[in-house]
Amino acid sequence: MSRILHPKISPYKEEWLTVSDHHQLYIEQAGNPEGIPVLYLHGGPGSGCSENHRRYFDPEKYRYISFDQRGCGRSKPAPSIEDNNSQMLVTDIETIRKHLNVDKWLIVGGSWGTTLAMLYGIQYPKHVIAFILRGVFLATQSELNWLYQYRGAAQFFPDYFQDFIAPLDPDKRQNILQQYRDIFSDNNELAISSACKAWYLWELRLSSLEHNASSLSHVEDYHQAACMAQISNHYFVNNCFVEEDYIIENINKISHIPAIIIHGRYDMVCQLNNAYRLVQHWDNASLQILPQAGHSGFESQTIDAMCKATEVMASFLQD
C-alpha cells in the first residue's frame, strides 16, 4: 500500500542559535521529545527547511530536528554568503548536536542535504546511527556541468535553458556560473532580482515529473528564490568547498553505517548514475530506484519511499 505524508504537525520548540559573529541558525524540533533523534538536512544549498519535511516521520516515534542552514530561510541574516562554506555547515551541525544534547542521530537529507549528510558523517561518524538519502549529489564537477553547461540537462530542456541564461550577457555565456556570480556581486537590484528568479525557476522546472512551473510568474517567494540562487551559486562557483570526488574517496569512513538511498530514475537535477556509483563503494547501503520519479521530494513515489524508509529505520533502531 502506498504511503502518504504523516499529518501536519507544528514544532514543539523553535529557537535561534548563535554560531558565529555573523550567523544565527533557526532550529526547530517536532514530534516526540523522547523519540529517535533524526536530523533532516534540506537541499539547495539555500532552500531552507519545510513544514512538509516533518511529515516523512511518525511523530510518535521520532524526535524531529531541522534547521535553516547559514544564510537562508529563517536563519539570520538571509540571504548571506558571508562566512558560508561546507566546512562551516558541518561544524554547525555538530554545534547543534551538542546544544540539543544528542548523542547519536539518524541523518536524513535530500539533494544538497545528502552531500552535507555525508560530509558530516565522514567527519563525525561516531555520532551517526544511520542515513536516509534522497536524490544523491556528490558535489563533483561533472554534476555541476550537467546542470549549468550546454551539454547536460539543457539538452533535455532547451527552451527552459534559454530562460535560465536570459539574464546573462550573450557574449559571455560560456561561463554561466561566473556570469551569475558577477550579477549577484553587483548593486543592480533589478538585475539581481531577475537573475534570482531565473535561477530558481530553472531548478523548479527540472525537479518534478508531476508539477510544472511554466513561467517566472510561478516564482512568487522572492526571499526563497534569492536564498537559493545566491547561496547555490556561491557554493557551486567554489566547487562546494570540497576537493573533487572527496566523498567517494572518503566513503570508507562511513561505509559501515547503514544507509537507505532513494533516487528517481528520471531525476534531471541529480543524475541516477551518481547514486549508483555511490552504493558500489558503500558496503552497508541499499539503493532504491523509483521508476516514475524525478528529483522532487514530494512526488507520489518519493513520498511513498521516504515514509517507508523512515518506518523501516524506526523498526530497526527500536529493536
| Active-site residue set | 111, 267, 295
Q: State how far the Cα of 298 lies from the Cα of 306, in Å rounded to an integer.
A: 9
Nearest to 91 by CA among 119, 129, 72: 119
Smallest CA-to-CA distance from 294 within 161, 133, 135 is with 135
Q: Return the C-alpha cell found at 164.
A: 535560465
Contact 230, 196 (CB under 8 A): yes
Which of 274, 305, 271, 308 is closest to 288 using CA atoms?
305
Q: Is the peptide bond before 79 cis (omega within 30 degrees of 0)?
A: yes
CA separation for the pair 197, 80 (Å, rounded) = 17
Side chain identity at residue 95, one-letter code: T
- C-alpha dist (Å) from residue 263 to 158, 269, 278, 293: 24, 11, 12, 8
Grid cell at residue 250: 572518503
Q: Under the phi-then-psi rule, with left for phi > 0, alpha for psi from -120 to 50, and beta for the rest, what region is 189?
A: alpha
Residue among 20, 128, 143, 100 nearest 119 (CA)? 128
List of residues 6+ apart from 76 with CB closer than 8 A: 16, 23, 24, 26
Residue count of the chain: 319
Cβ(260)–Cβ(290) below 8 Å: no
Integer-rounded Cα radius of gyration of the chain: 19
